[in-house]
Amino acid sequence: MTGALIQARMNSTRLPGKVLRLIGDREMLSCMVERVRAAKMIDSVIVITSTGGADDPIADHCKAKKIPFFRGSENDVLDRYYQAASKFKVDTVVRLTGDCPLIDPGIIDGVVEVYNKGNYDFVSNALPDKRTTPDGMDVEVFSVKRLDQAWRDAKKPSFREHVTFYFWQNPSIFSIGEYRLAEDLSHYRLTVDYEEDFQVVNAIFSNLYKKDPLFSVFDIINFLRSHPEIYKLNSQIEANLGWKKSIAEDKKWADDKAKENR
């Protein structure tokens, strides 16, 4: 079974509670689940959140909306994925994050198709310095077998927090595939980390949803090109700040380990 596992949390440091903020009259997470469910290559959609009390509203939301969900480790997100995949008997994991409510079902299908047709351990459209899709269209695909390997072998804090770091940082161990667009659209920002991001996403939904609930990434880009004032709202925000923080924590972890072994 191919399962889309959407990680979501309430205690975002930059925009707390963002996954349940309303876009129009619906929560951002519901908007995302609707789009993910439209992907043809997905068998099930599961929200995975933590057991922390702060994430109770996500569990309550999923119960109310009849969205399958799993609660696991708050800080060890890799373990959360492993345990969720085991519980729901997923064979192929499609990793998504709850801050990508504009995710294009066609992009999801495209990444899964690359994975299915190629002899790859891991396929992504968001590899550093190689991506062509906008930030906010991130899709990663890997088998439960490889997830189990990472769960057992990955030790760095960033590997446990970001789940797939262990795959793309070890190309000698894993066969890595890419999904790319013909045109580089990576400078567009469609994720939600800041208030400005939310304003952009809200404007896109408000203008495109009624015409076609499953509007594509190309519809979004055409809209932003026609409305540069909206594009500019978040165009100056630096991407992947969370990654940089995690890499700094890796260095401290390595230094502490070195001291223990002296």
CATH number, position 153:
3.90.550.10
Residue 164, Cβ density class (10 Å: 0-12 exposed, 13-18 middle, ≥19 buried): buried
Share of the chain above pLDDT 90, in %: 86
Number of domains in the chain: 1
Q: Angle 28-37/105-117 helices, nearest 10 degrees?
A: 50
* Residue 242, number of CB atoms within 10 A of its CB: 15
- C-alpha distances in Å from residue 37, one per residue of 6, 9, 68, 131, 233: 11, 20, 12, 24, 29
Q: How confident is the model at residue 240 (pLDDT cuts 50, 70, 90)?
A: low
What pLDDT is attached to residue 227? Answer: 98
Q: How confident is the model at residue 238 (pLDDT cuts 50, 70, 90)?
A: confident
Residue 31 domain boundaries: 2-260
What pLDDT is attached to residue 139? Answer: 98
Condensed to tens digits (0 to 9), the pLDDT of residues 135-187 reads 999 999 999 999 999 999 999 998 999 999 999 999 999 999 999 999 999 99
**pTM metric for this prediction:** 0.91
CA distance 186 to 132: 5
